[in-house]
Amino acid sequence: MALSNNVIGAINFVAMLLSIPIIGAGIWLANQPDNSCMKIFQWPIITLGVLILVVGLAGFIGAFWRIPVLLTAYLVAMLVLIILLACLVIFIYAVTIRGTGHAEPSRAYLEYHLEDFSIWLQRRVRSSYKWERIKTCLSSTQICPSLNQSYSSPIDFFNAHLSPIESGCCKPPTACGYTIVNPTNWISPISNIADPDCVRWNNDQDQLCYSCNSCKAGLLANLKQEWRKADIILLITLIALICVYVVGCCAFRNAQTEDLFRKYRQGYS
């Protein structure tokens, strides 16, 4: 029984360690400028990671001090958390499966269209009330102002591989035919009816294209890239947690069997 408890304790310690990449993925997302403006997945991820840490610690204590009730609670709670983590991994993948950039002639960066993304993601930015808050947050960052320091000539800018949010929010859509002065200052064409976003562009550095659908699409594309990276970490951790949980269940069952045999032998003798 002591050996089995040591094994269970070691397994639970590994489960505690596996909470670290989950919490780390949530903290990484929270520290991204775009995610800080649109808080969706980072706090559920961090919360799940903390819960897995707490449950793993409870299982470790239960194994170390040989508390069967605590070990049983650990197995039940960890199963629930694994299911929740699996649902989160699947959901993130499902809502980010759509949405890609579109190439434009003589441009290295891509253009993004809101309708290309999943309906669930579109709903997060279509509401004017929600977008006003997000827009205010985005305009307070250095995402767009930093472009003026990074690209000194139009050719450099056109050959730049901009992030989706830089492409969508910091400049007018390429189809509008604006003439560049610098990355965040453009001269309006005679006719700009190619896209509704064309009339939304404003050289005011607090406005730019933050009211454009292209900015909403760029934000979603940026979020998609970051969420996909976090989802890979969560998937790998999920697989590891499942393996650890299965081994833990086997060790717990063996410990229970050993305990029954020990009681049987004591009763027989």
Residue range(s) defining the domain that contains residue 13:
1-98+225-267
State the pLDDT at residue 2: 47
CB atoms within 10 A of CB 128: 9
Same domain? For 60 and 127 the reply is no
Same domain? For 106 and 210 the reply is yes
Same domain? For 158 and 193 the reply is yes
State the pLDDT at residue 68: 80
Distance CA 173, CA 165 (A): 12
Distance CA 251, CA 254 (A): 5
CB atoms within 10 A of CB 257: 12
Same domain? For 30 and 83 the reply is yes
Distance CA 163, CA 220 (A): 11
Same domain? For 81 and 120 the reply is no
Same domain? For 106 and 214 the reply is yes
Question: pTM of the predicted model, to two decimals?
Answer: 0.88
State the pLDDT at residue 60: 87
Same domain? For 94 and 22 the reply is yes
Same domain? For 243 and 211 the reply is no
State the pLDDT at residue 11: 83
Same domain? For 116 and 139 the reply is yes
Same domain? For 109 and 133 the reply is yes
Given 196, 220, 244, the domain boundary residue is: 220
Number of domains in the chain: 2
Per-residue pLDDT tens listing for the chain (269 residues): 444 567 777 888 898 999 999 999 999 999 998 888 988 889 999 999 999 999 999 888 887 787 888 888 899 999 999 999 999 999 999 999 998 999 999 999 999 999 999 999 999 999 888 899 999 999 999 999 999 999 989 999 999 999 999 999 999 999 898 999 999 999 988 766 667 899 899 999 999 999 999 999 999 999 999 999 999 999 999 999 999 998 888 777 765 555 544 554 555 44
Same domain? For 162 and 203 the reply is yes
Same domain? For 170 and 215 the reply is yes
